[in-house]
């Protein structure tokens, strides 16, 4: 799903593509994809595929990235990798252009890592608050859409929806449980801490992106019965207290953020409105009643676009076009 979205984003942003080379495993070789109205044949991945390539966008899983990203980089391509393979590597910058674009310049391996989708939208919203008061602690609960697990998961969820609607038996095997009319927490669990891998990514990635290992992040990740767009309830504590009015002012001016905040009249960001859109939407900006000087907010963004494909293309624009 992210690969297809990358093609749409490249086309919509009129990224200067002289030649497009769609690459996949042998299983998908020979299929076609359409870009700017022209069909392109998918080729099987091999070292020679990357000869003369300026930009290689990877979205094929950690194992594929670990094997092939260094090969692409060795051929001279700028590699932007959407997997988790290089996010913790100190020689690979972890970049969200609205937050730490300058980090992209230092890439000893020629590889830039795209952060986790949940992290991306959160740090875009946190950036103006960090600049104003320096982040001390972030507590976040995510409400993550099923498209984050890929096309197969979306199909499995839709089959569950049909089954529950008809009162039939629900196939729970493909989603590690029933998501229809339910919530799940089914990412890989770290036995030592009890946290899910998805949650621990948010901890380490937030610190790396902001360049501050002292930021405390307390995450809970939840899969919800929504197709596209992640939502997050975020509670922020900064070293220098910030009022809700000041936070709203800062967020209104922030790059990549759209404030949708008239909760008294029922106006707040919703995933159904964010799907297919580029911004990070922020609403319910309010003082933390449990911690004076702190801020609470509701953050929603399309996980396939800003959470993955758009961010990757923005990184390429930052490095190759500016």
pLDDT in tens, 239-273: 999 999 999 999 999 999 999 999 999 999 999 99
pLDDT value, residue 219: 98
Identical fold at 2-115+308-321 and 118-303? no
Q: Where are the domains of the chain?
A: 2-115+308-321, 118-303
**Residue % of the chain over a pLDDT of 70:** 100
**Average of per-residue pLDDT across 157-166:** 96
CA dihedral (225, 99, 13, 44) in degrees, to 10, reads: -70
**Please, which residues have CB within 8 angstroms of residue 125's CB and are 6 or more apart in sequence?**
234, 251, 254, 257, 280, 282, 297, 299
In angstroms, the CA 71 to CA 44 distance is 15
- Across the strands, what pairs with 66? none
Q: Choose the catalytic residue: 40, 92, 130, 230.
A: 230
What residues are paired with 301 via a beta bridge?
A: 230
Instruction: Give 282-319 pLDDT, tens digit per residue.
Output: 999 999 999 999 999 999 999 999 999 999 999 999 99
What is the pLDDT, as a whole number, of residue 275?
Answer: 98
- For 188-210, what is each residue's pLDDT tens digit? 999 999 999 999 999 999 999 99
HSE, side-chain direction, 13 A CA sphere, residue 60 = 18
Share of the chain above pLDDT 90, in %: 98
Global pTM?
0.96
Please say if 117 is a catalytic residue. yes
Mean of all residue pLDDT scores within the chain: 97
CATH number for 118-303: choose from 3.30.530.20, 3.40.718.10, 3.40.50.150, 3.30.360.10: 3.30.360.10
Pairing verdict, β 43-44 and 23-24: parallel
268: its two tokens: 């707040």
Topology of domain 2-115+308-321, CATH = Rossmann fold (3.40.50)
pLDDT tens sequence across 175-191: 999 999 999 999 999 99
Residue 254 is predicted with a pLDDT of 98
Q: Residue 119: exposed, middle, or buried by beta-carbon count in 10 A (0-12, 13-18, 19+)?
A: buried
CA–CA gap between residue 55 and residue 86 (Å, rounded): 17
Which of the following is catalytic: 40, 92, 117, 186? Answer: 117
At residue 311, the 3 state secondary structure works out as: helix
Task: Please list the residues that pair with 262 across neighbouring strands.
Answer: 267
Distance of CA 79 to the CA centre of its chain: 17
- What digits encode the pLDDT tens for the residues 45-78? 999 999 999 999 999 889 999 999 999 999 999 9
Question: Does the active-site annotation cover 186?
Answer: no
């Amino acid at each position: 799903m992210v690969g297809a979205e990358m093609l749409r984003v490249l086309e919509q942003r009129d990224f200067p593509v002289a030649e497009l080379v769609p690459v996949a495993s042998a299983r998908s070789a020979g299929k076609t994809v359409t870009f700017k109205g022209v069909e392109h044949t998918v080729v099987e991945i091999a070292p020679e595929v990357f000869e003369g390539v300026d930009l290689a966008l990877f979205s094929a899983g950690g194992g594929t990235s670990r094997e092939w990203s260094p090969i692409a980089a060795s051929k001279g391509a700028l590699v932007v990798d959407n997997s988790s393979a290089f996010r913790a590597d100190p020689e690979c910058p972890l970049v969200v252009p609205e937050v730490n674009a300058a980090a992209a310049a230092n890439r000893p391996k020629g590889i830039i890592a795209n952060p986790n989708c949940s992290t991306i939208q959160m740090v875009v919203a946190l950036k103006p608050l960090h600049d104003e008061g320096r982040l001390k602690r972030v507590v976040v609960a995510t409400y993550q859409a099923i498209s984050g697990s890929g096309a197969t998961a979306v199909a499995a969820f839709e089959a569950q929806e049909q089954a529950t609607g008809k009162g039939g038996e629900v196939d729970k095997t493909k989603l590690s449980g029933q998501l229809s009319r339910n919530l799940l927490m089914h990412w890989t669990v770290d036995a030592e801490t009890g946290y899910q891998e998805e949650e621990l990514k948010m901890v380490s990635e937030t610190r790396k992106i902001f360049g501050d290992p002292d930021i405390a992040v307390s995450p809970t990740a939840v899969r919800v019965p929504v197709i596209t767009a992640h939502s997050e309830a975020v509670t922020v504590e900064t070293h220098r207290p910030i009022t809700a009015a000041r936070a709203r002012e800062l967020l209104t001016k922030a790059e990549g953020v759209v404030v949708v905040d008239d909760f008294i009249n029922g106006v707040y960001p919703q995933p159904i409105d964010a799907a297919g859109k580029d911004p990070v939407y922020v609403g319910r900006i309010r003082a933390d009643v449990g911690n004076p000087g702190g801020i609470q907010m509701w953050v929603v963004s399309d996980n396939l676009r800003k959470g993955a494909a758009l961010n990757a293309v923005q990184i390429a624009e930052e490095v190759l076009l500016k």
